[in-house]
Structure 1
């Protein structure tokens, strides 16, 4: 069930009602949502159909029980049917929700971020405009989408999360204040553990070292902020980097390109 708590969640609820009414018998059905004014959140919910959230402009983060996923412009996050999730969009976001019947295409059984080709993006946009899409054309678009989506590459824009209470406390604190530059030793003291014990716990629960885990969180926040229109200088400061060059170095090591080139690539 979807509860209406603000602009995006209300719009999402309306979109889901539209999907149920207009797309109940469709293999794939798309709706469009423009987010305005302030940043908006759709609270935790689930639905029978799988869902691909595509950001044409701005950015979205999607949280599921075991992780947080980033949807930068022109990418999409895939949420399998029945999975509990919530969405948070930037204020400038233009979103498309593609709902897909279970078992009609070979998409992953886990949540993931997909890098969408220009063709796939245009097909989703066209399918969302139901008023101008004839039934025969809609069937053709559905077939093309369901064939192309499994071929889209997966982006590593994912932060593993856990129900372990100490790591949940650390993750919540870093999400609240990503500029916190506390060391592993500092965090170990805050959660009443030894440094070695905390290092083992992070590795065991997330599969990452503490440094990699925190850097992945910073990367997600950085892409989200840049997609919302923040400058590289602003993002660097918000993440607590001593210099812009240090932030750019981190970004390039993680994604292979500078922040500016990464966003330019998404626009093409």
Structure 2
């Protein structure tokens, strides 16, 4: 499969759904700095996207996922999804046919990528598009599928409510992430009581308002840090009065400081 990059001719691309192989893997690279988006679309085959450099966010059927370096996102076949890229992006993608024999996730998830899984993706991306089946190439693909089935999920998911009033609040938060308004203030803006807002957000996301907003901050922080922003800049853009308070929130959510988290991600790059 050819490497997809900024200069690739459109004729290089072959629709993976049309390739009669259980797994179709490719590498991708973009040196375009800044953001670009892919409109909502779907594939018959399931999809794994591994990020080596940069950050990818993906909204799938009521949820938002962030994929930092050394992580991947799994998107089941048929799921409508839209993607947004932050900064230069490098990685690998694998499309998996729905009739493979191994048990794979039925729902979208962010997954941690082991060194073995990463090497298998790199190796399989160098196979011919119509690789020979029944020999060494098929065994390579089988091991890839086994590693994918064993991959652990990461907590980089933000449930997205569908209630119109909640979506207006969320849209405003997305546009002004530094706004640290209280629950009462957000309820007043939405024209509902504090109790009603808390009940709706818990019903639609499974989280309290405070927990949801913390996860929202973590998701944005990981996206911006992976795109090259400094910890000081991210703390300010999220409305934190001090860097230590932001670091404390980040460590509480992900178990480590933002600096160490990103250092580990970049150390895992090939």
In structure 2, relative to structure 1, the CA distance for the partners of 1:43 and 1:263 (3 Å cut) is same
2:16 — aligned with what? 19
1:106 to 103, 108, 118: 103
Query: Which residue matches 2:112?
Result: 115
Gapped regions of structure 2 (runs ≥ 5): none
Q: Separation in 2 of the partners of 1:131 and 1:43?
A: 29
Structure 1 residue 15, shift from structure 2 partner: 7.4
Instruction: Please name the residue that 1:35 is paired with.
Output: 30
Q: Give the structure 2 partner of residue 81 of structure 1.
A: 77
**Equivalent residue runs for 1:117-196 within 5 Å:** 117-130=114-127, 135=132, 136-196=135-195
Q: 1:208-267 deviations in whole A, cap 9, x for unaligned? A: 000111111110110011111111011111111000000000000001100111112223
Contact 1:126 1:133 in 2 (8 A): no
Q: Check conservation: 1:67, 1:158, Cα contact below 8 A.
A: yes
SS at match of 2:144: helix
Match of 1:91 in 2: 87
- On the 8 A contact 1:98/1:124 being kept in 2, the answer is yes
Q: CA deviation at 1:134?
A: 6.3
Please give the alpha-carbon distance, in whole angstroms, between the structure 2 residues aligned to 1:118 and 1:84.
29
1:97 and 1:113 map into 2 onto residues whose CA distance is 14
Cα RMSD after superposing both structures = 2.1
Which is richer in helix? 1
Give runs of aligned pairs for residues 223-262 of structure 1, distance below 5 A: 223-262=222-261
In the alignment, is the contact (CA less than 8 A) between 1:77 and 1:111 conserved in 2?
yes
For residues 142 and 168 of structure 1, the distance between their equivalents in structure 2, rounded to whole angstroms, comes to 41
Question: Is the contact between residue 184 and residue 195 of structure 1 (CA under 8 Å) also seen in structure 2?
Answer: yes
Displacement of 1:26 in angstroms is 1.3
Distance 1:133 1:260 in 2: 42
SS in 2 for 1:59: strand
Normalised TM-score (structure 1)? 0.90
Determine the C-alpha separation between the residues in 1 that align with 2:145 and 2:127. Answer: 18
Question: 2: distance between equivalents of 1:51 and 1:15?
Answer: 19
2-side partners of 1:132 and 1:81: how far apart? 20
Gap regions ≥5 residues in structure 1: 1-6
Question: Could you tell me how far 1:137 is from its partner in structure 2?
Answer: 3.9
TM-score by length of 2: 0.89
Instruction: Assess if the C-alpha contact under 8 Å between 1:56 and 1:95 holds in 2.
Output: yes
Q: Distance in 1 between matches of 2:31 and 2:176?
A: 25
Deviation string, structure 1 residues 80-110 (Cα, Å, up to 9, x no partner): 0000001111121113211001141211111
